[in-house]
Structure 1
């Protein structure tokens, strides 16, 4: 039963969609309906008898029929040229009010045309055109009509034109309101998509930084220890075994950190996703031990105590120290010494890594020299900038290099233990 009841609704919906897709056909049907109404109304006499209006007691003249046809035909183009159609239908209405005896209701075409103008133009235009049309048609009806000027036909012309202008303006306002809501919804959707793309780009950049830090640090240590093992293999096998043990330990640490970093790409519900916390200053001593085992003397000075730092700041400080010491080990000469300081100053943490440059040429051979275009300093700067801090790097007077990062404890980015 419900399906049968829905059939008329479905038919109406299809008809509405078809008329929206064919506006010229819709206007032609409207013009035909207006013509029918004008012809039927031309046979009605509002004062035909004592009991009220009568039908069939009068007949429109040939000129009135022609004017009704012209007024209705003009409505076919009401959407393409609304002002021109309004001017034409108003002229036809004036001609009928002047020459028609009795006048036919040609004013219906002008009322429809005025509604179209009001619904498709702005409010000031509607006011100007509407008042002009009301004044001209009402004044013509009062001046040239056979009935007294105060008759209800003249008041009806004034009322119908006014209502047409008001209805058209209301439709235009509602259409503008709906368009504004749709535009805001589309803008919000675009904003959400752009925000999603931005977050994806930031996440990719963060993962790239972490991968670079992990790989650069541990592979540099592996490279150094492997070189030591190869150099002393024949003369001092015990030292070679110790160096290979450090290689194994560094490679295991690299694999663990790579597994934790790549695991962040898994789905949140994946049971294999890592659950251990990201590294921070709490394990700084373990990090420094890896460099000391690789032959880089490192001294540390800390005044931050056991203060709890925001996760993002804690990780950034750890990674900056890791990358700076890795660069020292890769680029400085033999006999280099490094110093690390972590100082809390007010609402900031200052992380400084210094080295004295060592003695002589860099430790790496020409074929082991680092390739240009590395991302170490760039990655450090991106981390510091993302937190709203400042990073300064450059050579020291007398030799060596200096890296200093000032990180605010109230980071401007959201905290994320995985960052």
Structure 2
């Protein structure tokens, strides 16, 4: 029942917003008919009032003033209050039909101007009606309390209805505002996710293309240098070059597949992604390009989450790529330190390196400006973004012994407590004997 009433109320309000003059005309004519009928009513046993044109003019003015209730609600309420007091002074009984215009003005005053203003006007009108009845109605003295309570009730009724209308409109407005806010939030979140996905794919493409092309360039240069002096070594390097380009094509195809197939199944994504388990393969590929990489591990190795494992591998891969392209030395050192809750990764070379795009990025970041200029790469920026996405830390700059050093700290999953060992049979037997 309430749902149907709300539906009809919404429909009526929408129609009133589209055709306000038509609705006002219908309401004014209805209220005028109520006032005309109410002017002919009297109490049982009392003589009917002498109906003349005066009361019709007064009530017509009261109803016609309602046309301005949207722009001047307070003035309309004052006019209706004066008209109903005048009708009381003329000897007419204040029935609900006669009070209908002033009640309608009170209702619109409440909806337009607020409850506080409507309370003041309602109380003033009720007092004015009591005074007018006491002076011009000889029957008022016989029952002043019930009559006064009736006046207060009829003045409070539009006040309550108008307050409910205001609350309902405020509720509808708040629901619409929440819906609009939720829509804007969804759009902003969607744009943010698209931006994050673009950056993630850009990092993947940078890692794949930069690393493999740098190694392929180094391998090709080494093969060209050894082509006449060491054909056998040249053949080995060219074989490794084929493996490097094939690996680059596979990873590039997997990354571009995310852009081509938006609804691809989970198996078509980059997971399971490369991790530290492929570190020996990476070292071997660098060695084929004439770049020696040594790997040391301290602490007890622990399994990593897929995200941290991928980030650790990509950071080592990018650091070795920069070292291969720019370092003056032909060797680098990778150190993995497993601590209680962090994995510390350090990639360094022992000799001063040439001016690199990585150093330029690091210097720019140290100055608080991570913007890139022509000729600078995104290696340091991408490594830092990867580390920060999982709550890690990152640093890149000159090493303590010279050269360039990349260091990152990534979170480790909490260690699983080991189950207590079961007591041996000998211990159990000994315990039983002592017992």
TM-score bracket for the superposition, by shorter chain length: 0.7 to 0.9
How big is the shift at 1:156?
A: 3.4
Q: Matched residues in 1 for 2:203 and 2:294: separation? A: 26
* Structure 1 residues 296-318: Cα deviation after superposition (integer angstroms, max 9, x where no partner): 11111123544111221111111
Instruction: State the Cα distance separating 1:217 from its structure 2 match.
Output: 0.3
Specify which of 82, 87, 112 is matched with residue 73 of structure 2: 82
1:95 to 60, 64, 86: 86
- Alignment equivalent of 1:372, drawn from 370, 375, 390: 375
Equivalent residue, structure 2, for 1:260: 254
The structure with the largest helix share of the pair is 2
Q: CA separation of 1:410/1:162 partners in 2, compared to 1, >3 Å: closer, same or farther?
A: farther
CA gap of 1:131–1:282, structure 2 versus 1, over 3 A, is farther
After superposition, the CA RMSD in angstroms is: 3.0
Q: Which residue of 1 aligns with 2:37?
A: 40
Hey, what's the Cα distance between the residues in 1 that align with 2:206 and 2:66?
Answer: 72
Q: Within 1, Cα distance between the matches of 2:213 and 2:270?
A: 25
Q: 1:179 to 1:304 in 2, by over 3 A?
A: farther
State which of 26, 30, 53 in structure 2 corresponds to 1:29: 26
Q: Deviations over 1:130-168 (max 9, x none)?
A: 333333333333333343243666543322111111111
User: Which of 300, 308, 313 is the equivalent residue of 2:303?
Assistant: 308
Matched, 1:386 2:389: yes
Count of aligned positions:
387
Residue number among 112, 119, 123 corresponding to 2:115 in the alignment: 123
SS of 1:44 mapped into structure 2: coil
What's the TM-score once normalised by structure 2's chain length? Answer: 0.80
Q: 307, 310, 318: which one pairs with 1:323?
A: 318
Residue 336 of structure 1 contacts residue 358 of structure 1 at CA under 8 Å; is this kept in 2? Answer: no
Asked if the contact 1:27–1:76 (Cα under 8 Å) also holds between the matched residues in 2, the reply is yes
Specify the alignment match of 2:175 in structure 1: 181
Secondary structure, aligned partner of 2:124: helix
Gap change, CA 1:203 and 1:298, over 3 Å in 2:
same
Tell me which of 69, 90, 111 is aligned to 2:60. 69
| Cα distance in 2, alignment partners of residues 14 and 171 from structure 1 | 14
Pair 410,188 (structure 1): closer, same or farther in 2 beyond 3 Å: farther
Tell me which of 269, 272, 277 is aligned to 1:277: 272
Counterpart contact for 2:392–2:408, Cα < 8 Å: yes
Residue aligned with 1:79, SS: coil
Q: Deviations over 1:49-80 (max 9, x none)?
A: 6xxxx9xx545322211111111011112122
SS for the counterpart of 2:268 is coil
Instruction: Call closer, same or farther: CA 1:308–1:360 in 2, change over 3 Å.
Output: closer
Secondary structure in 2 aligned to 1:264?
helix
Q: What residue number does 1:196 align with?
A: 190
